[in-house]
Chain A
Amino acid sequence: MRTSDWLAARVADAVPDTAHGRRLTLAVPGWPGNAPGQHLDIRLTAPDGYQAERSYSIASSGPGESVEIAVDEIPEGEVSPYLVRVAEPGDALEVKGPLGAYFVWDPADPSPVQLIAGGSGIVPLLAMARARAAMSAGAPFRLLYSVRTAADALYRDEVERLGAAGLDVTWAYTRQAPTGWPGRVGRLDAERIAQATWMPAQHPLTFICGPTSFVEAAADAMVAAGHDAARVKTERFGGS
């Protein structure tokens, strides 16, 4: 199958995750399966024929015709408010994918993996962490997850569960931390990134996903700390 084909899909499940984010499971007959970290395009068609397309990271991976995404609502957005507020199980849409062979984790790669998520940038990184957790033995993983507040964190419960099961998780809060949080609140700086990540000598493969400004700052900090730029992979979305 060529990825240029649009596939008919239906919303199979829609679960609120945060006040402005929702997890959607899509049933996509003919979906060829996807690698952890890939994305898909979604196309919505209005009754008058107007179409809108957007890219969304996939939170699931592996074979099967069920695909999970998580969508954070962008106020004034064209597609995300529909997916977060309006779409219900049974609703039809179209998807194209899986897309992107660059921001992908290969489970056969034994290198330590550093995941750095800003906000809804957690989605493709969660797919990687889930794929790792499903293996009996695989690369060591660390996750640095920056959110405004605890209530804004997509997949918060699952990340906590993965942490309890052995994933090395560091939370960073930019606006407000939970009561009793010992760390400092505010944007990540180079020092906190260095404390929460593998050292350059461990030669990790790093995946950074989030808003453009977050990704640029985190990637710059990793490279400045001595990490090989070619092993710092980034995926940016929205704004600046």
Chain B
Amino acid sequence: MDSTPHVRPDPRRVAQRLDGNALAGMLDAFAGLDPALLLLTCGHCGRSAALAEWSVEMDAAAAIVRCRGCTRTFATILRRDGGIEVRAAGGSISTPSAV
């Protein structure tokens, strides 16, 4: 039986000052996931869909991810020195609910 007095703040709601290392485990959920399944939500019109359903304009240098609802740019993904640079424009990225 819970005998804790209910005057203490909910520990889940008290912010702690940490560094980015603390996010490694939380964001690890993104790492092993097929990017096509990531749920993107447009910050402009609110449309939400898997990355697989977004509009992409691509050439050898870059891919522009645009919303099918309002055509706003969500992100620009550039090929850079053998790697990838993602320039976020607007909206949110979440894991699908099953993950």
Contacts and interface: CB of A to CB of B under 8 A. Distances in A.
Interface of A: 52, 99-103, 233-235
A101 B36 contact: yes
6 contacts: A100-B36, A101-B34, A101-B36, A102-B36, A103-B36, A103-B52
B50 interface: yes
A52 B60 CA distance: 8
Contacts of A103: 36, 52
Interface residues of B, number: 8
A218 B52 CA distance: 17
B48 to A, nearest CB: 11
B86 interface: no
Contacts of A233: 52
Interface string B3-31: 00000000000000000000000000000
Contacts, number: 21
Interface string B33-68: 010110000000000001111000000100000000
A103 B37 CA distance: 10
Contacts of A235: 52
B19 to A, nearest CB: 27
A79 B37 CA distance: 27
A150 B97 CA distance: 43
Nearest to A52: B60
Contacts of B60: 52
Interface in B54-94: 60
Nearest to B34: A101
Contacts of B52: 100, 102-103, 233, 235
Pick the 8 closest A-B CB pairs, nearest first: A102-B52, A101-B34, A102-B36, A100-B36, A101-B37, A102-B50, A102-B37, A101-B36
A100 B34 CA distance: 7
Contacts of A100: 34, 36, 52
Nearest to B79: A53
Given A102-B34, A233-B52, 7 more contacts: A52-B60, A100-B52, A101-B34, A102-B36, A102-B53, A234-B53, A235-B52
Interface centre among A99, A100, A101, A103 (most CB of B within 10 A): A101
A89 to B, nearest CB: 29
Contacts of B53: 102, 234
A233 B51 CA distance: 12
Contacts of B34: 99-102
A166 to B, nearest CB: 30
A235 B50 CA distance: 12
A106 to B, nearest CB: 13
Interface centre among B50, B51, B53, B60 (most CB of A within 10 A): B53
Nearest to A4: B84
A99 B36 CA distance: 9
A217 B72 CA distance: 21
A52 B36 CA distance: 22
Nearest to B51: A102
A103 B53 CA distance: 10
A12 B42 CA distance: 44
